[in-house]
């Protein structure tokens, strides 16, 4: 533990402050600040006040990892947490591995288990797969296109999608991956139209997704081809424009319109803390609240930030956030997942979804 003798518990908060994913940066930061303030209003973390050190996770992954390493080597970090891409996570893991706890809050492709890494986000098995099953079963969609950014999360999610669709008697008729930061999807939209797809899985982040949805609708594909995305929050929805999101389904563990006691309580506390003009909090930014809450629960349960001790008690840890009272098992948080239909400014929740057989 790097801060023995210090009065603060220093958390490197990695979230996108720049780049295509920067659209969710403000809500990520404020959500983490709310969790920090709630911890500090109680006992803090192992008796210390929590301090957040902002790290721009929207930059090149190597650059982000280098900054984390510099801070860690200087003894300036006790933990890291935050919402950022899988490419950034993969670069940061070797830096933090076995040294400090790392809570990753974004949805991701699944499968990671390293000492000290704890994940609050959704995985394809409990998010994307049951949503696919619903759309195939309820609407008979059989010809699917996939469009994503070109890095590990979209590519692995696309592979899982294709496998499950084959099992459902459907198929992938077109798949395409674009560099992060792409804004021109004209050729992609044309290829989807020519493929005869009646459904499209969208695995794009931030501004890239916004541009795609606008161009998809402008081409008129929304009239006959539904869209499904596991990564689309209210900030991205507003940026895309309600006229461009007809027939867009989203699967997520959190929506601002989720009317559970835990969600409504979080929304009320967020508004009291930051005012009615604060950024809208969607699933992506809100995940940072969950992450800081989990980090506090882990370290307080262990009584130390020593990774070995935290690992030994982690499966006994639970915490309460905006998504309810959640439990940690094998480094991952289990949570309810909901399917919703995009509206003009928010999401209409259809209901909770589970993989077939659950």
The answer to whether residues 70 and 202 belong to one domain is no
The answer to whether residues 118 and 204 belong to one domain is no
Nearest to 345 by CA among 248, 234, 232: 234
CB 305 within 8 A of CB 98: no
CB 53 within 8 A of CB 11: yes
Confidence of residue 356 (pLDDT cuts 50, 70, 90): confident
pLDDT attached to residue 109? 97
The answer to whether residues 205 and 298 belong to one domain is no
CB 320 within 8 A of CB 258: no
pLDDT attached to residue 249? 98
pLDDT attached to residue 208? 98
Four-point Cα dihedral 318, 320, 322, 323, nearest 10: 40
Please determine, for residue 223, whether its predicted confidence score (pLDDT) is greater than 50.
yes
Please determine, for residue 83, whether its predicted confidence score (pLDDT) is greater than 70.
yes
CB 205 within 8 A of CB 179: no
Domain-located, residue 213: yes
pLDDT greater at residue 6 or residue 271: 271
**pTM of the predicted model as reported, rounded to 2 decimal places:** 0.95
The answer to whether residues 264 and 248 belong to one domain is no
Instruction: List b or e across 324-344, with b for residues whose CB sees 16 or more CB atoms inside 10 angstroms.
Output: bebebeebbbebebbbbebee
The answer to whether residues 346 and 297 belong to one domain is no
Q: How far is CA 353 from the centre of its chain?
A: 17
pLDDT attached to residue 5? 41
The answer to whether residues 23 and 171 belong to one domain is no
Domain-located, residue 115: yes
Nearest to 295 by CA among 24, 6, 51: 51
- Give CA–CA dist 294/352, Å, rounded: 23
Please determine, for residue 159, whether its predicted confidence score (pLDDT) is greater than 70.
yes
- Give CA–CA dist 146/152, Å, rounded: 14
The answer to whether residues 96 and 14 belong to one domain is yes
Domain-located, residue 220: yes
Please determine, for residue 3, whether its predicted confidence score (pLDDT) is greater than 60.
no
Confidence of residue 1 (pLDDT cuts 50, 70, 90): very low
pLDDT greater at residue 323 or residue 357: 323
> What average pLDDT does range 231-253 have in this prediction?
97
The answer to whether residues 345 and 229 belong to one domain is yes
Domain that holds residue 97: 8-122+259-336
Domain-located, residue 3: no
Please determine, for residue 287, whether its predicted confidence score (pLDDT) is greater than 70.
yes
pLDDT attached to residue 6? 59
The answer to whether residues 107 and 144 belong to one domain is no
Domain-located, residue 342: yes
The answer to whether residues 246 and 311 belong to one domain is no
Domain total in the chain: 2
pLDDT attached to residue 355? 86
The answer to whether residues 244 and 346 belong to one domain is yes
Each residue's pLDDT tens digit, 295-351: 999 999 999 999 999 999 999 999 999 999 999 999 999 999 999 999 999 999 999
The answer to whether residues 287 and 180 belong to one domain is no
pLDDT attached to residue 341? 98
Domain-located, residue 295: yes
Please determine, for residue 56, whether its predicted confidence score (pLDDT) is greater than 60.
yes
Give the CATH number of the domain where residue 151 resides: 3.40.50.2300
- Give me the numbers of helices (H) and strands (E) for the chain, helices first please: 11, 15
Please determine, for residue 81, whether its predicted confidence score (pLDDT) is greater than 60.
yes
State which H helix or E strand residue 243 sits in.
none
pLDDT attached to residue 357? 66
Domain-located, residue 40: yes
Domain-located, residue 358: no
Q: 3-state class of 46 per DSSP?
A: coil
Please determine, for residue 4, whether its predicted confidence score (pLDDT) is greater than 70.
no
pLDDT attached to residue 276? 86
């Amino acid at each position: 533990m790097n801060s023995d003798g210090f009065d603060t518990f220093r958390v490197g908060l990695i979230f996108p402050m720049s780049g295509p994913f920067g659209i969710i940066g403000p809500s990520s930061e404020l959500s983490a600040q709310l969790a920090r303030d709630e911890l500090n209003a109680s006992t803090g973390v192992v008796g210390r006040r929590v301090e957040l050190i902002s790290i721009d996770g929207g930059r090149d992954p190597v650059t982000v990892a280098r900054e984390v390493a510099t801070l860690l080597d200087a003894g300036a970090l006790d933990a890291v947490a935050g919402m950022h891409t899988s490419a950034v996570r993969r670069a940061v893991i070797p830096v933090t591995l076995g040294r400090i706890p790392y809570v990753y809050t974004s949805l991701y492709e699944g499968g990671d288990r390293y000492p000290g890494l704890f994940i609050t986000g959704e995985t394809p098995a409990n998010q994307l797969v049951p949503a696919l099953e619903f759309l195939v079963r309820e609407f008979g969609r059989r010809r699917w296109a996939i469009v994503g950014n070109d890095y590990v999360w979209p590519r692995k999610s696309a592979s899982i999608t294709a496998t499950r669709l084959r099992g459902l008697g459907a198929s992938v008729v077109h798949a395409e991956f674009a560099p992060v930061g792409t804004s021109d999807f004209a050729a992609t939209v044309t290829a989807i139209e020519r493929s005869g797809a009646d459904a499209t899985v969208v695995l794009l982040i931030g501004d890239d997704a916004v541009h795609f949805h606008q161009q998809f609708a402008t081409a008129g594909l929304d009239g006959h081809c539904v869209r499904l995305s596991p990564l689309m929050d209210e900030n991205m929805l507003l940026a895309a424009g309600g006229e461009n999101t007809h027939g867009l389904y989203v699967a997520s563990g959190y929506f601002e319109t989720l009317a559970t006691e835990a969600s409504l309580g979080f929304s009320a506390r967020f508004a009291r803390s930051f005012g009615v003009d604060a950024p809208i909090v969607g699933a992506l930014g809100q995940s940072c609240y969950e992450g800081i809450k989990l980090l506090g629960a882990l370290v307080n349960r262990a009584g130390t930030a020593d990774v070995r001790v935290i690992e030994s008690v982690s499966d006994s840890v639970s915490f309460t956030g905006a998504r309810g009272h959640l439990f940690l098992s094998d480094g991952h948080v289990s949570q309810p997942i909901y399917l919703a239909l995009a509206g003009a400014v928010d999401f209409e929740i259809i209901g909770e979804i589970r993989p077939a057989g659950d």
